[in-house]
Amino acid sequence: MRLRGLMRKEVLQIVRDPSSIAIAFLLPVVLLLLFGYGVSLDAENVPVALVVEQPDAATAHFAGGFLGSRYFAARQSFSMEEALQSFLRHEVNAIVYLREDFSANLKRSEAATVQVIVNGVDANNARLISGYIDGTWNEWVRQQSLASGLGAGMPVQVQQRIWFNSEVRSQNFLVPGLIAVIMTLIGALLTALIMAREWERGTMEALLVTPVAMREILIGKLLPYFALGMGGMGLSVAMAVWLFDVPLRGSMWVLFGGSALFLLTALGMGLLISTLAKNQFVASQIAIIATFLPAFILSGFIFDIGSMPPVIQGLTHVVAARYFVAILQSVFLAGNVWAVILPNAAALVVMAAVFLGITRRKSQKRLE
C-alpha cells in the first residue's frame, strides 16, 4: 500500500510537471535531430580552390576529377594570390595548385608537380581532406596510365570492402551512440533532480517521519522513472530506425534488455548523486559533470577509445555508457554478437548493483 501510494504520487507529479516529460521525450528528439542532421563526421562538399595557371586539355581533365566529385565544392581560379586570399578568409579549406609548366612537364614525362595546401587547424578534417585529394588524384593517374596504355597490368590490386556500415554514413555510427548519451541524461539527471527536489521542498522530512521504509522510497522513485526512461528509449529507437534509416540488425529483445540494464545503472547514479547533494542545482551540476560529460567523451560514442592514452582508456572502464555504446553499436550495425554483448552486459549488471547498493547504504532514514 505504501509503495503503491508513493508510485501514484510520483506518476501524478510527472503528469503535472511538464519538465520531466520534456526531459524524457523532448530532449531525445532535440538531441537526435541536432546530432543526426547537424553533426556529420563525413567531409562532403569541402570548399577547395583549384588554381590552374595555364588551362589546357590536360589540366581540364585533372580539374574535372575535382569538379565532379561529391566530396568537393571546387572553385577554379587562375592566380595563386587570389586562392591564398580566400584560404586565409576561411572560404576554402584546401588549395590544389597546378603551375603553368604542369602540362608541359607532363608531356615530357618529367616530374609534373601538384602542390596541395590543406588547412590543418582541424586535424581530423585535414586528414580526411588530404585523403580525398589523394584519392581523386590517384584516380586521375590511373585513368591517365590506362589511356596511355601503360598501367594495364598493375601487379597489386586492392579489393576494399567496408563491413557493418558499408555506406560509411556517420549517422549509422552516431545515432546508436547518441542513444546511450540520451539515456544517461534521462536516467541520471532526472532522478538526481527529483530526489534533490524532495529535500529542497521539505517533503523528504515529512516522508521520513512516516512509517515508510527507505527501500520503499527508493523503489517508489526507481520504477516510475524506469518506465519513463524506457519510453524515451523507445522513442529514440523509433527515430533512429525510421527517421535516420539506421539498420537494426540485432534483435529487439537484446536491445531492450541492454537498455533496461543501462537505465538501472543510470538511475542508480542519479539516486546516489541526489542522496549526496540535497539541492537541485548542485545535483544537476554533478549529474552533468559525472555522468553526461563522461558519457559524451569517454564512451566511444564519438571518440574512439582505442586511440586514447592508456590512462584515459583505463578511466573509461568506470563509465557505464561505454558498455552500453558497445552493445548498441553491435545490436544496430552488426547483429546479436554475443561475444560483445555478454561481457558488456555483465559489466552493466555489476555497475548497476554497485550504484544501487551504495545508494541503499547511504540513504538512512535520518536527516544527517
At its nearest, how many Å lie between other proteins and the CB of residue 13? 6
Q: How far apart are CA 307 and CA 246, in angstroms?
A: 25
Choose between 20 and 171: whose C-beta lies nearer to other proteins: 20
Choose between 14 and 340: whose C-beta lies nearer to other proteins: 14
Q: b/e string for 307-318 if b means 16 or more Cβ within 10 A?
A: ebeeeeeeebee
DSSP codes of every residue in 198-212: HHHTTHHHHHHTSS-
Choose between 1 and 111: whose C-beta lies nearer to other proteins: 1
Q: How far apart are CA 287 and CA 128, in angstroms?
A: 35
At its nearest, how many Å lie between other proteins and the CB of residue 9? 5
At its nearest, how many Å lie between other proteins and the CB of residue 197? 10
Q: How far apart are CA 229 and CA 57, in angstroms?
A: 62
At its nearest, how many Å lie between other proteins and the CB of residue 34? 30
CB 27 within 8 A of CB 185: yes
Q: How far apart are CA 268 and CA 266, in angstroms?
A: 5
CB 83 within 8 A of CB 69: no
Q: Report in angstroms the alpha-carbon separations of 146 from 149, 150, 220.
A: 5, 6, 73
At its nearest, how many Å lie between other proteins and the CB of residue 6? 7
Q: How far is CA 323 from the centre of its chain?
A: 14
At its nearest, how many Å lie between other proteins and the CB of residue 198? 7
Choose between 304 and 368: whose C-beta lies nearer to other proteins: 368
Choose between 104 and 219: whose C-beta lies nearer to other proteins: 219
Choose between 63 and 277: whose C-beta lies nearer to other proteins: 277
Choose between 105 and 203: whose C-beta lies nearer to other proteins: 203
Q: How far apart are CA 136 and CA 128, in angstroms?
A: 12
CB 330 within 8 A of CB 247: no
**Residues that bind other proteins in the complex, under the rule CB under 8 A:** 1-2, 4-6, 8-9, 12-13, 16-17, 198, 201-213, 365-368
At its nearest, how many Å lie between other proteins and the CB of residue 27? 20
